Chain A
Amino acid sequence: MTSTVRLCCGLLALLVFGSHARDAETPRAKTPEPLEATLERGPYLQCATPQSIVIVWRTTGKSTPLVRYGQTTAQLDQTASLKNVRVRVAPHINSEATKLHSAPDWTYQYEATLTALTFSSTYYYAVYDGDTLLAGGETYHFTTHPAPSISKPVRMWVVGDSGMGDKNQASVTTAMQAWIDREKRPLDMFLHVGDMAYNSGRDSEFTKGFFKPYEATLRNVVCWPSMGNHEGSTSRGNLGSGPYYDCYVCPTQAQAGGVPSGTEAYYSFDYGRIHFICLDSHDLKRRPDGAMARWLSTDLEKTNAAWLIAFFHHPPYTKGSHDSDREKRETEMRTYIMPILEAGGVDLVLTGHSHIYERSMLLDGAYATPTVAHNVILDDGDGDPAGDGAYRKSAGLNPNEGDIQVVAGHGGAKLNRKGTMPVMKRVVVEHGSCLIDIDGNTLTAIMVDKKGDRRDTFSLIKEGKVTPKRVANPKQLPPYKAPKDDKKDKKKEATLDDEIDSKPNDKIPALEGSAK
């Protein structure tokens, strides 16, 4: 709300004084070029593979880009070759370099690809303008991906609908950081399921809602993005242009595994024995004859990974701030994309858009509208090793053995709930994020809320041969009754959280009407 008031005040000033205030996204510079380059954004990491990584940073004013790196901070004895540094510049800059869609005056963006790295190795790095250090030190490091066939434990952070640049977003990040510090188990990757720059995905909104809040994380961990509808206001998937596409370097030629998509709008990558697929659910054709769905089928044909995780913005199943039974994008993702993913053996589907945390039972084939739980649930337990026990599937990727859906749209934006999706096992109306660990044949996920409490745990074990059985009448969460007004709203949310959603996990009581 504070940001809304600030926005209104800004507009008021603009109108009352008739000012033509500086528009950061106009193609004419309003200021002279600075004599010295200053670091404006980053450095941050992109497009990691076992043998390469891309380091991105921005300066105001032209610089001589240089990245030094090595395996200790004291010995940054390697440099990225200049031919491996792509330069993109603000639209007004008269240069042969590729233009950014929009950026503040005199912005130069550098994207340095470091190659011939050793897999599963940690490197320190620093970025320079010629001989002048712009950023570097103990906290600037990255670890390359493991070799494709190697199974290595991984921890990923999953966030959605966070890009407010406000205190909720900050609390979610702080809570996650405190959790991983306590466990002394840092992140290996960051998956963002969209809406990272409210309200329209403009360049300045990316700075405020994404790069500033996550600066410390982004210097060590690659964020693999999927485009949300708010980024879609200013970026176009079919053209691959707009501020969203300026910010990220995603694989188009299967640099990181999978098959080439030829576009940054959707792509895949491998982390050891895990195959990740990112889709654009916002502005591309979602039907089976569309390029994206056909690429997805081709990509699934090829992967030989042990795990398959898909992520995109619009959830196939939700009754949070959005209703997947009513809205076209969600319905199409469920009707057209989920059958392809499930026939390809998907294990976990991560989405956002709906401002809530919802997590499903192990399900397969739930494509009907409206969504029903009958005969599509393969395990109606809670998936918690300390509760009903972990979900189980056969080893490897097998068609139609079930997947778990996580709606993680609770990263910072205003929360809301419309009802209870029948296939869900947990619903939490509280800001937070997810931490997912995969170690060998076991995936374990937790949801940590903004106060630092664990609100959900589930686990999936893939071993041996499991024959899926459909549950005719799965145990479901009780129906949700919408609160009547705002004051009651808050009370009701708290009550519902207490009743049907998890408390800090070690204290979860047997859930009435929902547990096995």
Chain B
Amino acid sequence: MTFLFKSPCAPLPHPLVPLCLRVFVSRLLFFLIVVFACCVFSHDGPEHVIEELTLQLEQKKSADLYHKRAIEYRQLSEYKKAITDLREALKINPRHFEARLELAQVLITVRKTDEALKVLRIALAAEQSAAKRLAIFGALALAYDAAGDVAAAIHYCASALELAPDDLDLLLLRSELFWRAGAYQRRAEDLESAFRRTGSAILRADWIDAMLDAGHFSAVKSDIEKEIAESRLKSAWLIRRARCSAAESNSAASHGDISAALLELDSRIRPHQPDTSLLLQRAHARALSADKARAQADLKAAARAGAAPHGLARISSIIKNMKR
């Protein structure tokens, strides 16, 4: 196959064939080689695909090829190379939407949020289709969130949710943003309508948390009791009930639930390589039992193990607000 790649774009050197036909046939040949190569290599790992795309790029620069190679670099977490390729793609075709969006996403990943926002604003001004605007709004919400501008993140989250009202990740992102903005009541209302519409169990659990954060303990206590009765793993629900009991000044019940939750969590948390969500749960339980030092130790371990910033921020705030 190698010979086919030597000069696919140069017109075929036959004097009797008109130039336009020769150019057409040459381009056709190149197109077929690309298609053929894509078919052959599309089932291989990123390194093979990169190798193949590099070979094609040596023959002809194309925004599509740079974009495809950037996706593969991103798969390999080679973000610098991905950014370089995406910028090349946009030099060739500034209207290449997928490349622009991909560039913004990579820039958010490497925490260059200002640059990401610049890239996304250009995209937003240029694109009218709902599908593309949805993707841009979602990326803008993430970029503003990463930049610490909660109000702007909420605004773009809302814009995205207007186009995709049942996108669960967006709904959860908005819930976190409302929490960070201190809009507890709004968060609870938003989640309630979302879980009633979608039936999603995770939105329901988040709604119950939102109700507790907003101080509506009695309104959700029966839901929590039901979950405790029906669940195999109860720690998350025991912690929620402990919060209700604490709010009712029933410290014995609260301590009992916390102890039971800690017992279950200790049996599930592996000392090395733990599940970060369980570590955060245990940090929460320890914070509720006023064990600040161990709560902080769990929080640090969760951060080391790669827990998400939102989860860390929530528990950190609970620990900070502890009475002693």
Which A residues are closer than 8 A to B by beta carbons? Answer: 1, 3-4, 7-8, 11-12, 15-16, 161, 198-199, 230, 238-239, 252-254, 259-263, 284-285, 287-291, 293-295, 297-304, 321-323, 326-329, 335-336, 339-340, 342-344, 355, 364-365, 367-368, 397, 399-400, 413-414, 416, 418
Contacts and interface: CB of A to CB of B under 8 A. Distances in A.
B199 A262 contact: yes
A253 to B, nearest CB: 5
Contacts of A301: 231-234, 236-237
A1 B269 CA distance: 49
Given A262-B200, A367-B273, A321 B232 contact: no
A290 B164 CA distance: 17
Contacts, number: 165
The 7 closest A-B CB pairs, nearest first, are A262-B200, A289-B308, A291-B168, A262-B198, A259-B201, A339-B275, A301-B233
A416 to B, nearest CB: 6
Nearest to B233: A301
B203 A262 contact: yes
Contact of A288 (B195, B200, B203, B276): B276
Contact of A260 (B44, B172, B199, B272): B199
Contacts of A367: 273
Contact of B77 (A1, A291, A328, A335): A328
B35 A399 contact: no
B45 A239 contact: no
B293 interface: no
B278 interface: yes
23 contacts: A11-B35, A12-B28, A199-B38, A238-B164, A252-B199, A259-B201, A262-B199, A262-B203, A287-B306, A288-B277, A291-B172, A298-B205, A299-B201, A302-B230, A302-B232, A322-B46, A327-B75, A328-B74, A339-B276, A340-B277, A344-B233, A368-B273, A416-B43
B60 interface: no
Which of B43, B195, B199, B274 has the largest number of chain A CB atoms within 10 A? Answer: B43
A448 to B, nearest CB: 22
A343 B202 contact: no
A408 to B, nearest CB: 15
A327 B45 contact: yes
Given A302-B230, A328-B75, A400 B277 contact: no
B273 A399 contact: no
B274 A339 contact: yes
A301 B224 CA distance: 13
Nearest to A260: B199
B39 interface: yes
B91 to A, nearest CB: 26
A365 B77 CA distance: 23
Given A7-B35, A8-B32, A416 B169 contact: no
Which of B47, B169, B272 has the largest number of chain A CB atoms within 10 A? Answer: B169
Contacts of A7: 35, 39
Which of B76, B277, B306 has the largest number of chain A CB atoms within 10 A? Answer: B277
Nearest to A299: B201
A87 to B, nearest CB: 21
B311 interface: yes
A252 B203 CA distance: 13
Given A238-B168, A288-B277, A295-B200, 11 more contacts: A7-B39, A11-B32, A238-B170, A262-B202, A289-B172, A291-B202, A297-B236, A301-B236, A301-B237, A365-B273, A418-B45
Interface in B24-56: 28, 31-32, 35-36, 38-40, 42-47
Nearest to B39: A4
B199 A287 contact: no
For the residues of B in contact with A, the DSSP-based class is helix
A298 B278 CA distance: 12
B320 interface: no
Interface residues of B, number: 59
A297 B75 contact: no
Interface string B191-210: 00001001111110110000
B166 interface: yes
A365 B168 contact: no
A262 B39 contact: no
Nearest to A323: B45
B277 A298 contact: no
Interface string B218-256: 000000000000111110110000000000000000000
B268 interface: yes
Contact of B268 (A3, A298, A323, A400): A400
Nearest to A414: B43
A297 B202 CA distance: 9
Nearest to A328: B75
B2 interface: no
A300 B46 CA distance: 33
A413 B169 CA distance: 33
A303 B306 contact: no
A238 B167 contact: yes
B262 interface: no
Contact of B310 (A289, A368, A416): A289
Which of B232, B234, B278, B306 has the largest number of chain A CB atoms within 10 A? Answer: B232
B270 interface: yes
B267 interface: yes
B307 interface: yes
A262 B168 contact: yes
Contacts of B267: 399
B200 A297 contact: no
Which of A239, A293, A295, A339 has the largest number of chain B CB atoms within 10 A? Answer: A339
Contacts of A238: 164, 167-170
A397 B273 contact: no
Nearest to A415: B43
Contacts of A397: 232
A13 to B, nearest CB: 11
A293 B278 CA distance: 12
Given A8-B36, A260-B199, A365 B272 contact: yes
B202 A295 contact: yes
Given A12-B28, A294-B202, A301-B232, A262 B274 contact: no
Nearest to B310: A289
B59 to A, nearest CB: 18
A368 B273 CA distance: 8
Contacts of B36: 4, 8
A412 to B, nearest CB: 10
Contact of B232 (A16, A230, A304, A327): A304
Contacts of B200: 260-263, 291, 295
Given A253-B199, A321-B44, A294 B273 contact: no
Given A288-B276, A303-B232, A322 B45 contact: yes
Contacts of B38: 199
B7 to A, nearest CB: 19
Contacts of B45: 321-323, 326-327, 416, 418
Contacts of A297: 236, 277
B306 A239 contact: no
Nearest to B74: A328
A7 B32 CA distance: 9
Contact of A327 (B46, B233, B277, B308): B46
Interface string B295-312: 000000000001110110
A262 B166 contact: yes
A336 B276 CA distance: 8
Contacts of B277: 288, 293-294, 297, 340
A413 B268 contact: no
Contacts of A252: 199
